[in-house]
Structures are given as structure tokens and as C-alpha cells.
Amino acid sequence: MKHSRSDFPREFLFGVATSSYQIEGHRYGGAGPTHWDSFAATPGNVVRAENGDIACDHYHHWSDDLDLVADAGLNLYRFSTSWARVLPEGRGAPNPDGLDFYDRLVDGMLERGIKPAATLYHWELPQPLADKGGWRNGDIPKWFGEFTDVIMRRIGDRVWSAAPINEPWCVSWISHFQGVHAPGLRDIRATARAMHHVLVAHGTAIQAMRALGMSNLGGVFNFEYAEPSDESDAAKKAARRYDACYNRFFLSGVFHRCYPDEALQGLEPHLPDGWQEDFDVIAQPLDWCGLNYYTRKIISPEAGPWPSWREVDGPLPKTAMGWEIYPEGLEFFLRRTHEEYTKGLPLHVTENGMAAPDPIEAGAIEDAERIAFLDAHLTSVRKAIAAGVPVEAYFVWSLLDNYEWALGYAKRFGLVHVDFHSLQRTPKASYRALTEALAR
Ligand code: PNW
């Protein structure tokens, strides 16, 4: 890699990120059913109807996987806790094996000198709660607060950082408006409610963790740079609307106690009664803010119902996801988040990485494009730091090839290759390059 650890401030931390459903193997250890299992079982939702039953079987390989993190010289491991593994019914009696699993995992990190960065929810909702309307139900913040209390009473004394919900936009918009993720709805009213409830749940979980005496609490938000398709006012307005719904809505709720006008235009009639009163819960003070960043989208105006935009093809080189590679966007969002929302709060890049075909040839994977991708984005991080943005950590998505949601196992994001038949792990060239860069 072009960059070395010594190019960054002395206290800067490097990590890798994963999530429970994408790697653990949901069939093991007494986890309850989730809405991702039922979504994947419905034909047409997921490529080859693949699900997280076995995934990387991290449930049994966790110790070797933590060795991979430690051997690379990484400081941080970002993992998520499966609600249904801890509370198989979503509420009520905990599953002792589930609590033991996360207890072992956290101790395993500490034994190896890795700081645990916990995310409470990364998308697999217990099915009994999905049956009650899931994120559309105004009771979900209370249920989520209960889960937070149960899991953090067990591991909250030893995690380095914690965040309630991975990517509120994905939990609400991609799942209730685009229908691409569980529960697969295409309904503006469901979307508006989910967007709001996810933020109330975020605030409720922060309160629950403060009540347990925890610190270093944050939020993890995802960002896509919105580029107008042309110079017209209509295209610029469509891109601003996209930016408001995708990037600004959640930060605005948490840091400004309001929602952007361009988003409210379409969403306000569908928000739950009394939504204005919820900002006392939503806007809990945080200790850091996390940004997940992958790409930009080219936005074109479209006739038809709000939000009246459409994504069009762009000219830049693309990853295996079909996502344009646009490293400048990461610097843009780090600067804007700092200047307009978080002012001085530490920022963490909680996810960044790319999918590539990564064929295994003669036992090796030469993923030069991933090395170039990481280098280009680390350049953006360094520029933001040089401009005075307090970026304190950077996590690669992901440690392992894993279950890429609706795209199944074909999209490989890992620094480490996984053979999904033998479950054998093979470090890619990017893993070795990062290891070498971190030692310099
Ligand atoms: C992130 N989009 O999600 C997630 O946190 C990971 O679980 C996931 O594996 C990773 O990115 C790679 O996809 C996103 O379509 C998934 O806009 C989809 C989108 C954005 C973020």
C-alpha cells in the first residue's frame, strides 16, 4: 500500500468490521428466527435464495477469525450482536448460549489486544417482532431498549465503543421503500415510520447504555454522494432531495433536533403523531459519530410521485457491486459532518471497502484493485485530518467474504477469502498489504 501507519496521527486506530448475520451461522447456538430468514426464503428476494444459516460459521471459527484480526496488527474489531441470538423471541427469556458467545468473543478480543467495537443491531430483526410490524411499530424503541439492557449488562463493561443501529437509512429506506432488504416493503408510509422509529430506538438504546454507566457511545450512519445528472435546476434539486433523505435526515434528527425540509415534503404526512416531541430522546449526546462510505450516485429528476428521482449510470470505474469508485466523497462527508453536525466530536470511518471477483488461483488471491481502493480512500481520510477534521479510526469492510444480503455469497468484500464449502479462510493480497502497512 501507498500509506503506512506512520502517515497517520499516533493515536489513530485501524480496524475491520463484520456483522452477526453475515458471518456467524444463524442456525447454530439457539438463535431464534429473524425477518432475514423469512425474506430469503421467499423466492425472488435473494440471489439463489441464500441465507445466513451457515455463512462463514464464525460461531465455531471465532477464535481463528480473531487471530486474523490480531495478526494483521489491527487495533479494533467492529462486530454486531444478534438480537435473536440473545433473545430468541425478541423479548423475554435470554438464550444463555447467545450471551456466552458474545462474552467469549469480547474476552477473545481483549486477550489478543483488540478493542471491541460493538454494534447492537445490524439488520436481523427477531421474527416475532417483525410479525408485530417491526420498525413500523411505535413500540420498537421500547423493545430495543430491553435488548440493549440485556446484552450490555453482559458485555458492556468490556467493549471499547458501542453504537445502537448500523445504518438507519438501510434499516428504513432500502427495506421499506425500495423493498430490496427485509421486510421487502415498497410503502412510503412504512418508510417514514421506520425512519423515525429507528432514531427513537437509537436514542432509547443510548439512554439504556448510559444508565449502565457505559461511555464511548456513538451512531453509525451511511452516506452516498449525490451527483446531479446534469446542470439543470431540476437535476440539482433532485440530487438535493436524495441527499436530504439519504444523508441528512438521520444526522439532522440526532444533531439538529429536526428533519430537513426537502425530506419532510414527502414524509411529513406519514410520520407518527407527536413525532416533534421525540427529539428529546433522539438527540442524546454522543461521544463519536461513525460514517460508512462506499460510493456516489448520479441522480436524475423523474416525473411521478415524490421523491421523483431516479439513479442513472455513471462514468467512473465500478466495483463488483456496480458501485462507482469515488474516494473524494469520503473526504466531503467527513468535512461536512464535522462542520455542520458534529463539531469537534471524534469521527470514525466505520465501514469502507469494495466487492471484487477475487478468484482463487494457485491458492492465492491477487486483489490489487482492493489495495488501490483502500489507498485512495485513506488519502481522503488523510486530507480530512489535514483540514482539521478529528478522524480517529478507520475500519475496512470486511474481514471475511460473507453474506452480502440480497446478493447472497457471490459478492466478496473480504480481506480474507472464504471458501463457502470447506469454510477455509485464505488471506488475500490486500490482507498482506494492510498488515505490512500497519507495521510501518
Ligand atoms: C453496508 N445500498 O450496507 C452494510 O453495513 C454491510 O452490511 C454491507 O455488507 C456493506 O455495506 C456492503 O454492501 C449497505 O444499496 C448496503 O445503498 C447497501 C447499500 C448501502 C449500504
The rounded Å distance from CA 268 to ligand 1 centre is 26
- Residue 3 marked in a binding site: no
The rounded Å distance from CA 106 to ligand 1 centre is 24
- Torsion (CA) 383, 385, 389, 390 in degrees, nearest 10: 150
pLDDT score recorded for residue 228:
98
- What CA–CA distance (Å, rounded) separates 350 from 286? 15
Based on the structure, what is the number of domains in the chain? 1
pLDDT score recorded for residue 236:
98
Residue 279 lies in a domain: no
Work out which ligand 1 atom sits closest to the CA atom of 123: 7
pLDDT score recorded for residue 264:
98
Whether pTM > 0.90 for this model: the answer is yes
pLDDT-derived band at 199, boundaries 50, 70, 90: very high
Residue 355 lies in a domain: yes
**Whose Cα sits closest to atom 14 in ligand 1?**
170
Kindly state if the Cβ of 292 falls inside 6 Å of ligand 1.
yes
Kindly state if the Cβ of 166 falls inside 6 Å of ligand 1.
yes
- Please state the rounded mean pLDDT for residues 127-148: 98
**Whose Cα sits closest to atom 8 in ligand 1?**
404
Instruction: At 246, list the grid cell.
Output: 439519504
Kindly state if the Cβ of 23 falls inside 6 Å of ligand 1.
no
Kindly state if the Cβ of 404 falls inside 6 Å of ligand 1.
yes
Instruction: At 269, list the grid cell.
Output: 404526512
Kindly state if the Cβ of 167 falls inside 6 Å of ligand 1.
yes
Kindly state if the Cβ of 401 falls inside 6 Å of ligand 1.
no
- What CA–CA distance (Å, rounded) separates 401 from 413? 5
Q: Are strands 288-301 and 218-228 parallel, antiparallel or unpaired?
A: parallel
pLDDT-derived band at 69, boundaries 50, 70, 90: very high
Spatial CB neighbours of 221, under 8 Å, sequence gap ≥ 6: 167, 168, 169, 247, 250, 251, 289, 290, 291, 292
Residue 91 lies in a domain: yes
Is 369 part of the annotated catalytic residue set?
no
Shortest CA distance to 167 belongs to which of 223, 115, 208, 217? Answer: 223
Kindly state if the Cβ of 19 falls inside 6 Å of ligand 1.
yes
Q: Are strands 347-351 and 288-301 parallel, antiparallel or unpaired?
A: parallel
Kindly state if the Cβ of 397 falls inside 6 Å of ligand 1.
yes
Give tens-digit pLDDT for 430-439.
999 999 999 9
Is residue 175 a contact partner of residue 181, using CB atoms and an 8 Å limit? yes
Shortest CA distance to 155 belongs to which of 110, 204, 113, 99? Answer: 99
Q: What is the chain's mean pLDDT, rounded?
A: 98
Instruction: At 178, list the grid cell.
Output: 425500495
pLDDT-derived band at 400, boundaries 50, 70, 90: very high
- Residue 275 marked in a binding site: no
The rounded Å distance from CA 362 to ligand 1 centre is 31
Share of the chain above pLDDT 70, in %: 100
pLDDT score recorded for residue 84:
98
- Please state the rounded mean pLDDT for residues 114-127: 98
* Domain CATH code at residue 122: 3.20.20.80
Kindly state if the Cβ of 177 falls inside 6 Å of ligand 1.
no
Residue 46 lies in a domain: yes
Q: Which domain holds residue 55?
A: 5-217+321-439
pLDDT-derived band at 3, boundaries 50, 70, 90: very high
The rounded Å distance from CA 222 to ligand 1 centre is 8
Share of the chain above pLDDT 90, in %: 100
Give tens-digit pLDDT for 265-279.
999 999 999 999 999
- Please state the rounded mean pLDDT for residues 181-203: 98
pLDDT score recorded for residue 139:
98
**Whose Cα sits closest to atom 15 in ligand 1?**
174
Residue 44 lies in a domain: yes
Residue 328 lies in a domain: yes
Is 351 part of the annotated catalytic residue set?
yes
Kindly state if the Cβ of 127 falls inside 6 Å of ligand 1.
no
- Residue 341 marked in a binding site: no
- Residue 340 marked in a binding site: no
Give tens-digit pLDDT for 244-259.
999 999 999 999 999 9
Give tens-digit pLDDT for 296-340.
999 999 999 999 999 999 999 999 999 999 999 999 999 999 999
Question: Which H or E run includes 192?
Answer: helix 188-211
Give tens-digit pLDDT for 71-107.
999 999 999 999 999 999 999 999 999 999 999 999 9
- Residue 421 marked in a binding site: no
The rounded Å distance from CA 174 to ligand 1 centre is 10
**Whose Cα sits closest to atom 19 in ligand 1?**
170
Indicate which residue of 24, 167, 224, 331 is catalytic: 167
- What CA–CA distance (Å, rounded) separates 71 from 261? 48
Work out which ligand 1 atom sits closest to the CA atom of 355: 12
Residue 250 lies in a domain: no
Residue 292 lies in a domain: no
The rounded Å distance from CA 166 to ligand 1 centre is 10
- Residue 397 marked in a binding site: yes
The rounded Å distance from CA 414 to ligand 1 centre is 13
User: Helix axis angle, 328-336 relative to 368-386, nearest 10°?
Assistant: 30
**Whose Cα sits closest to atom 18 in ligand 1?**
170
